[in-house]
Amino acid sequence: MEKELKIGFLQQHNTADTKDNIIRLAESIADLAKRGAELIVLQELHNSLYFCQVEDVDNFNLAEPVPGPSTNMFGELARRYNVVIVASLFEKRAPGLYHNTAVVMERDGTIAGKYRKMHIPDDPAYYEKFYFTPGDMGFRPINTSVGCLGVLVCWDQWYPEAARLMALRGAEILIYPTAIGYAANDTAEEQQRQRRAWQTVQRGHAVANGLPVVSVNRVGYEPDPSEQTGGIQFWGTSFVAGPQGEILYEASENEEESVIVSIDMAHTEQVRRWWPFLRDRRIDEYGDIIKRYID
Cis peptide before 67 (omega within 30 of 0): yes
Alpha-carbon distance 77 to 25, whole Å?
Answer: 10
> How much is the pLDDT for 156?
98
Tens of pLDDT, residue by residue over 33-89, are 999 999 999 999 999 999 999 999 999 999 999 999 999 999 999 999 999 999 999
Quick check: is 44 catalytic? Answer: yes
3-state secondary structure (DSSP) of residue 7 = strand
Alpha-carbon distance 172 to 212, whole Å?
Answer: 8
Question: What is the distance of C-alpha 115 from the center of its chain?
Answer: 10
Tens of pLDDT, residue by residue over 9-26, are 999 999 999 999 999 999
> How much is the pLDDT for 184?
85
> How much is the pLDDT for 2?
67
Q: pTM for this structure? A: 0.97
Q: Single out the catalytic residue among 91, 154, 172, 222.
A: 154
Phi, psi of 143, rounded to the nearest 5 degrees = -80, 130
Sign (positive or negative) of CA dihedral 212, 36, 23, 222: positive
Quick check: is 3 catalytic? Answer: no
Q: Given the DSSP bridges, would you call strands 147-151 and 173-177 parallel, antiparallel or unpaired?
A: parallel
Q: Single out the catalytic residue among 52, 91, 117, 128.
A: 117
Residue 274's pLDDT band, with cuts at 50, 70 and 90, is very high
Q: Single out the catalytic residue among 44, 91, 106, 128.
A: 44
Structural domains in the chain?
4-278 (3.60.110.10)
Selection from 206, 115, 120 nearest residue 155 by Cα = 120
Segments of 188-265 assigned E as strands: 213-216, 219-222, 232-235, 239-241, 247-250, 257-264
Beta-bridge mates of residue 105? 85, 111
> How much is the pLDDT for 1?
64
Quick check: is 117 catalytic? Answer: yes
